[in-house]
Structure 1
Amino acid sequence: MKPRLQLTVIGGFLGAGKTTLVNRWLREAEGQRIAVLVNDFGALNIDAALIAGASGDTIALTNGCVCCQIGDDLSRALIQVLESGTRFDAVVIEASGVSDPWRIAQLGMAAPELALEGVIVLVDAAAAMAQARDPLLADTLERQLKAADMVVINKVDSVTPDELARVREWVSSVASRTPQYETSQSRLPRVLREGLSLSEAREERDARGCTQPGCGHDDHSHHEAHDHGELFDTWSCRPGRVFDPNALRAWLRDTPPGLLRLKGVLRTGEAAWSEIQFAGRHGALRKADAPVDGAAVVAIGLRGCLPVAALEAAFAASA
């Protein structure tokens, strides 16, 4: 069964930091071939040392990634990427500052070659409250937040603790069940940008050992993979039983608070396997080939907030 390309949509109002995040993604690809679709090349300001060549609406980068200008038709740009003949690992779409990122995600989901990894919406901590009070902007901002699988409150270094608390409260009032992550300069750990690798997450947990409780947010000093233990708790198991697909779908509709991402391959019948994925607010269960290493589930949450007991009850407990 051919794996589908992971699609991520980056949304947020003008000035929230979307372009900075895209640039980070491209610079830190680390062997991944990423196709990025943007509205405007000019706003990206890609490092000249990264550019291998440009042709029409496409910029090829030295690390194997490409950046494509959407123009007037996102569908056409997406088709060009899928039919380019290049094997990409992921597709990232930067939504315009006033667009509804969920509509873009739905368009991408219509392509059978793609699987939605999630919608990331950035919020400018310094401007959010003034924008939220503007009757001409409020509806757009709320629609963006409601589309998010993860809300990244950006530029937290430019506000006071009281101002940041008001932004958190506003975001929670609009999208109460959506995970929030706080940072500056659009720093977002790779594991939150690109989802979970079953093997990498297990290795990271085993190398780190058990972590102790203590919720916190980004302190701007731990962003590389080997430092994720400072920010996140990771849990994994190898279930030996057969799962009921309907029960798994019901669990995905009502996941426990504190879970950011989950990925796994589980036995769902005598000779049937399914891939389970959850990111932010959305989960999916799809047919899968039998894994070489057997069943496995990994999950991640902010340190001290991961619902370990609920995960063990759902996946590690005996039938």
Structure 2
Amino acid sequence: MITSDRIVKQEITPDIIDVDVPKRGMPVTIITGFLGSGKTTLLNHILQNQQDLKVAVLVNEFGDINIDSQLLVSVDENMMELSNGCICCTINDGLVDAVYSVLEKGDRIDYMIVETTGVADPLPIALTFLGTELQHLTRLDSILTVVDSEAFTSDHFNSDAAYAQIMYGDIIILNKTDLVPEEKLQELETYINTNKTKARILRSHLGVVPLQLILDIEIDQSAIAATKESSQEADHHEHGDHAHHDHDHDHVHEHIHDANCQHDHHDHDHHHSNHLENDGFISISFQSDRAFDLDKFQNFLDKQLPIDVFRAKGILCFANIDSRYVFQLSGKRYELKTDDRGKSLNNQLVIIGRNLHREELLSKLTDCLV
């Protein structure tokens, strides 16, 4: 049994809700939130407990290895069917193209959920649904912002993206409420309400919230829509009139394409959006068909992992242990949970943080292999 003083045990009690989704353009929910806040946990809760809905899930990653989609389902292609009949699609070539690839499948799709990367500004993603031809095919229902109640502070790691996630969130979900006292939760709610007028706040443990409170709620998106004009005007002055996109995509799509395409890590510095430049986050990916030595890996986590690592996640295997494990690290907490899906035993790990020395980290990880 793998143990750590910082391992978090998770138990989910299903809360199955029958959600009646009217057909007024495919409703779209955007799930956003800072690194390690619990976006994938919330998404899994929705997928496990929705009833009679076929959902298309678009998963965005900041890094070379798509770990999140593997945590949702075993993914071998950019798109495949989930066990409950839903579809999971990896955003590789731009958000609009990913949406079209789902719509063109011809299958019945009732709902679409977009899970953003933890360092994404949700505004350009929302504007893609409001300002491109997608506005005639979809209906942006709401932006859900997941907040790590334990890790969140007023400066939230000095991140422009984290601030934007709060400001543009229609519903703020305070997650991991079991890890903090009531006083901290009240402080968070006061901070959010001070910075965002009439914020709608829900509390959550393990991403469990009543689905009728977050799906098909038809939040008024007029404020975001109004922001579209100023955003496009700023782009016009910054880029001039030379930009051109297929299908009449506007400058909002250009912003989205840059922010959401996956690139080789050598290209990240050239293609990430402005908020990544401001926030300074980088992603380091590690893969090996050799197993980790468990003691060496735990020593790496406890004594060698840089303080500027905000998030890490992966699928790991260890020497002399038949199972493979889902690894999650958020802040100072980490967990290893058995993954019994019977896939090949190899290591895939993504580390996200600031001021990280890529070669030094990769060397330390290599030293943990047997």
Q: Aligned-pair distance for 1:283?
A: 10
Please give the alpha-carbon distance, in whole angstroms, between the structure 2 residues aligned to 1:38 and 1:85.
Answer: 20
Alignment partner, residue 199 of structure 1? none
Q: Residue type of the partner of 1:121?
A: T
Larger relative contact order (Cα-Cα within 8 Å, sequence gap ≥ 6) = 2
Q: Aligned-pair distance for 1:32?
A: 0.4
Please give the alpha-carbon distance, in whole angstroms, between the structure 2 residues aligned to 1:173 and 1:25.
Answer: 30
Alignment partner, residue 191 of structure 2? 170
Equivalent residue in structure 1 for 2:169, among 148, 151, 162: 148
Alignment partner, residue 203 of structure 2? 182
Q: CA RMSD in A?
A: 2.6
Query: Is contact 2:59-2:68 (8 Å) kept?
Result: no
1:101 and 2:125 are equivalent in the alignment = no
Please give the alpha-carbon distance, in whole angstroms, between the structure 1 residues aligned to 2:29 and 2:47.
Answer: 14
Alignment of 1:80-159 (within 5 A): 80-109=101-130, 110=132, 111=134, 112-129=136-153, 132=155, 134-135=157-158, 137=159, 139-159=160-180
1:43 and 2:64 are equivalent in the alignment = no
Alignment partner, residue 298 of structure 2? none
1:11 and 2:32 are equivalent in the alignment = yes
Query: Is contact 2:156-2:163 (8 Å) kept?
Result: no
Describe the SS at the equivalent of 2:155. helix
Describe the SS at the equivalent of 1:98. coil
Q: Aligned-pair distance for 1:140?
A: 2.0
Cα 1:25–1:133, aligned 2, differ >3 Å: closer, same or farther? closer
Query: Is contact 1:151-1:178 (8 Å) kept?
Result: yes
Please give the alpha-carbon distance, in whole angstroms, between the structure 2 residues aligned to 1:113 and 1:132.
Answer: 38
Alignment of 1:1-319 (within 5 A): 3-40=24-61, 41-46=66-71, 56-109=77-130, 110=132, 111=134, 112-129=136-153, 132=155, 134-135=157-158, 137=159, 139-195=160-216, 261=217, 277-278=218-219
Describe the SS at the equivalent of 1:134. helix
Q: Aligned-pair distance for 1:133?
A: 5.3
Q: Residue type of the partner of 2:94?
A: D
Please give the alpha-carbon distance, in whole angstroms, between the structure 2 residues aligned to 1:32 and 1:279.
Answer: 23
Please give the alpha-carbon distance, in whole angstroms, between the structure 1 residues aligned to 2:79 and 2:36.
Answer: 24
Q: Residue type of the partner of 1:42?
A: I
Q: Residue type of the partner of 1:96?
A: T
Cα 1:70–1:149, aligned 2, differ >3 Å: closer, same or farther? same
Q: Aligned-pair distance for 1:193?
A: 2.4
Percent identity reads 29
Query: Is contact 2:57-2:115 (8 Å) kept?
Result: yes
Q: Aligned-pair distance for 1:124?
A: 0.5
Describe the SS at the equivalent of 2:127. helix
Query: Is contact 1:5-1:114 (8 Å) kept?
Result: yes
Q: Residue type of the partner of 1:32?
A: L
Could you tell me which runs of 5 or more consecutive residues in structure 1 were left unpaired when the two chains were aligned: 196-260, 262-276, 285-319
Q: Aligned-pair distance for 1:134?
A: 3.5
Could you tell me which runs of 5 or more consecutive residues in structure 2 were left unpaired when the two chains were aligned: 1-21, 226-370
User: How high is the TM-score relative to the length of structure 2?
Assistant: 0.49
Please give the alpha-carbon distance, in whole angstroms, between the structure 1 residues aligned to 2:111 and 2:180.
Answer: 34
- Name the count of aligned residue pairs: 197
Please give the alpha-carbon distance, in whole angstroms, between the structure 2 residues aligned to 1:24 and 1:2.
Answer: 23
Query: Is contact 1:132-1:141 (8 Å) kept?
Result: no
Please give the alpha-carbon distance, in whole angstroms, between the structure 2 residues aligned to 1:73 and 1:61.
Answer: 22
Please give the alpha-carbon distance, in whole angstroms, between the structure 2 residues aligned to 1:175 and 1:36.
Answer: 28
Please give the alpha-carbon distance, in whole angstroms, between the structure 2 residues aligned to 1:169 and 1:147.
Answer: 17
Please give the alpha-carbon distance, in whole angstroms, between the structure 2 residues aligned to 1:47 and 1:23.
Answer: 7
